[in-house]
Structure 1
Amino acid sequence: MPDLPDLPLSPDDRETYRAVATDGAPVAGHDVARLVDLGLIAPNPDQDGRFIAHDPRAAAQRVLAQVQATIAQAASCMAELPSVEGLAPAYDQHRWYSGPVSELLQSRDEMNRRIQQALRTASEEMWTAQPGAPVDRDPEVQRAGMDRVLELRHRGVSVRSLYNVAVRDHGPTAGHLAAAVEAGAEVSTLEETFPRLVIIDNTHLFIDNCVLPGDKDAGWHVTDRATVAWAHMLYQQLWARSTRWQEGDASSEMLTERQKAILRALEEGEAQHQVGPRLSLSDRTVTKELATARAAVGAQTVYQLMAWWGRRQAEA
């Protein structure tokens, strides 16, 4: 690609051109190289040290032609970029690819650092799903987690945590989660299988490394809007089917997680025929689950069942 002319002109260049145009003599001490290169002046073959001024309009047209040729060449080059990028599949098929909207983080520590970094600017939500069985954790780790909940809630950030239902029978974890609820976090449990994930502000998504399922330490940081929005919707569906922490002691021995999810949907104003689509259940399944729930609590109608449910929630 050709070099473009050396512009703009300096004040000295302009003064020198005016001097040459007047009497052929440049201003003493001023460099004339730029003016000569642009074709604005040329050495006078009959007088050493003197110059002849040329029409600046003609010089401007030459510069314009050079610029237009350069633009045309650049446009032609840009038109070929897709064919260059089209070679990517040949590169990617032999490598694990981390694109601009997803990044592979190689270790659990790296994942935690990136999550903490995203939380520093969080303003709306931190939603987590932890499907693993409960384990005895270092009290310092639990205290750090509680400090994070308190700090996020102080900033007005919604904190939701979804756990395997087994945590209710694990004393240390149950105590920690009860304290988190007291601090303003929302905690729920779910009997069914669900993926591990963290969503921050519907902008950052952290997931396990499903590309290599055996690698339990690595994970992905995803910022693609469509993917994060999809995970956000999935989380809301899981949350709708889960049992709030406060509800567990009140009715867990009588109703299943699915039945409680149906009752919560009805309690929130959904008509019975709307519950199925919300929970990904058929109308027949909803009707059957309500009948089983009525039998479990001794209610003759759905209205009686809902009255029982309301009393249980008030007691909890």
Structure 2
Amino acid sequence: MLPPQAASWAVLKDALSNMAAEVERMAAVPAVVDDLTLAFERSQWRAGRGSEFIADVAQVNARIGDILAGARQELLGAHPLGPRRREQMELGIARDTAALERGVQFRTLYLDAVRDDPVTCEWASTMAGRGAHFRTLADPFERVIVVDRKVAVIANYVMEDAPPHAAWIITDRAMVAFCAHAFEQEWRRGRVWHGERRVRGGISPDVAPAGERRLSEAQRAVLRALSEGETLEGAARRLKVSKRTLQRDLEAIRAAWNLPNAPIAQLTFCWATSPERTLEQAA
């Protein structure tokens, strides 16, 4: 038998030990909640009511194929990633021809660089002959596909460390409408294209009667990029062309302006003060 004082200390020791364990468990609760919150938010991102995240490239292509196959009225596509590969073209011809035959309006916006690519030119000329409409834009734009104004496919801007071809499938009505509106804005800026191969170095076909618009859209895009601080390498990446192609455009600009030895700084200064840039800003 223990004296009362010793017994009380034993009871207190057990109680304090139990309290310490409870405090430790309580202290761990915030970290557990943070982990669970992040997992819950990611699950919402991946399978929310209005959007779905897909990382695997095969799944992305399969879902896009299913969505395009279900088009009934309109198919809008903005593709800023450069020329199409031969296998992409061959896979797309039958699918997109079937869509055109069931009355789907087909509009696609490409980066201006595809006008130099024989495969994409072949694709566009084939599909234009079947009723598709194409335009090109020299400046960068965002990638998007909109089908029947009901579903959109956009690139990933949310999930860190996702693979390059990860995508979001959007069904929220407001966001799909926004995507379609953004496409329409870029479409209005684009130049009509029927798949014809570009002839570089000459005067643009949109020359004004007074000869004031002597540069092609691609050449103007080069000057815009360089005047915004891009290096030659950065401008080539931005416009999805090779550095050699960009150098050819610069030589054509020098020839058009009769400045055979002008450095880039002089060309960008001339561009900043040229009537052609003034006309472009007013357009």
Give the equivalent residue in structure 2 for 1:227.
175
Equivalent pairs counted in the alignment come to: 180
State the 1:210 CA deviation.
Answer: 1.2
State the 1:172 CA deviation.
Answer: 1.4
Contact 2:51–2:171 (CA<8 Å) still a contact in 1? yes
Give the equivalent residue in structure 2 for 1:251.
205
The verdict on how the C-alpha distance between 1:219 and 1:291 changes in structure 2, with shifts beyond 3 A counting, is closer
Contact 1:242–1:257 (CA<8 Å) still a contact in 2? no
Contact 2:55–2:165 (CA<8 Å) still a contact in 1? yes
Q: Distance in 2 between matches of 1:195 and 1:246?
A: 22
Where structure 1 has 5 or more consecutive residues not aligned to the other structure, the ranges are 1-87, 261-287, 294-301, 303-316
Structure 2 residue corresponding to 1:107, chosen from 53, 56, 59: 56
- The residue type paired with residue 187 of structure 1 is F
Contact 1:241–1:257 (CA<8 Å) still a contact in 2? no
Structure 2 residue corresponding to 1:130, chosen from 79, 82, 90: 79
Q: Distance in 2 between matches of 1:256 and 1:176?
A: 23
Give the equivalent residue in structure 2 for 1:194.
141
Give the equivalent residue in structure 2 for 1:77.
none
Q: Distance in 1 between matches of 2:117 and 2:206?
A: 16
Q: Distance in 2 between matches of 1:257 and 1:247?
A: 16
Q: Distance in 2 between matches of 1:134 and 1:247?
A: 12
Contact 1:177–1:187 (CA<8 Å) still a contact in 2? yes
Q: Distance in 2 between matches of 1:181 and 1:224?
A: 31
State the 1:142 CA deviation.
Answer: 1.6
- The residue type paired with residue 126 of structure 1 is L
Contact 1:134–1:167 (CA<8 Å) still a contact in 2? yes
TM-score (norm 2): 0.55
State the 1:290 CA deviation.
Answer: 8.5
**For structure 1, which segment, 111-120 or 181-190, has the greater mean C-alpha deviation from structure 2 after superposition?**
111-120
State the 1:255 CA deviation.
Answer: 5.3
Q: Distance in 2 between matches of 1:181 and 1:230?
A: 27
Q: Distance in 1 between matches of 2:149 and 2:65?
A: 15
Whether 1:183 and 2:130 are equivalent positions in the alignment is yes
Aligned to 1:251, what secondary structure does the other structure show? coil
Contact 2:133–2:194 (CA<8 Å) still a contact in 1? no
Q: Distance in 1 between matches of 2:101 and 2:78?
A: 22
Q: Distance in 1 between matches of 2:152 and 2:186?
A: 16
- The residue type paired with residue 131 of structure 1 is P
**For structure 1, which segment, 147-156 or 93-102, has the greater mean C-alpha deviation from structure 2 after superposition?**
93-102
Give the equivalent residue in structure 2 for 1:93.
38
Q: Distance in 1 between matches of 2:79 and 2:102?
A: 23
**Paired residues for 1:39-78 under 5 Å:** none
Contact 1:205–1:228 (CA<8 Å) still a contact in 2? yes
State the 1:136 CA deviation.
Answer: 3.8
Give the equivalent residue in structure 2 for 1:156.
103
Where structure 2 has 5 or more consecutive residues not aligned to the other structure, the ranges are 1-32, 199-203, 208-213, 221-274
Contact 2:120–2:195 (CA<8 Å) still a contact in 1? no
State the 1:196 CA deviation.
Answer: 1.1
Q: Distance in 1 between matches of 2:195 and 2:115?
A: 11
Aligned to 1:112, what secondary structure does the other structure show? helix
Q: Distance in 2 between matches of 1:191 and 1:213?
A: 29
- The residue type paired with residue 189 of structure 2 is R
Q: Once the two structures are superposed, what CA deviation does each residue of 1:53-108 show, in whole Å capped at 9, x if it has no partner?
A: xxxxxxxxxxxxxxxxxxxxxxxxxxxxxxxxxxx998543442221110011222
Give the equivalent residue in structure 1 for 2:187.
239
Q: Distance in 2 between matches of 1:133 and 1:247?
A: 14
Q: Once the two structures are superposed, what CA deviation does each residue of 1:228-256 show, in whole Å capped at 9, x if it has no partner?
A: 00010000000000011049767268455
Q: Distance in 2 between matches of 1:205 and 1:218?
A: 14
TM-score (norm 1): 0.50
The verdict on how the C-alpha distance between 1:89 and 1:205 changes in structure 2, with shifts beyond 3 A counting, is farther
Point out the structure with max Rg over C-alpha: 1
State the 1:146 CA deviation.
Answer: 1.0
Which structure has the higher relative contact order (CA within 8 Å, separation 6+)? 2
Contact 2:144–2:155 (CA<8 Å) still a contact in 1? yes
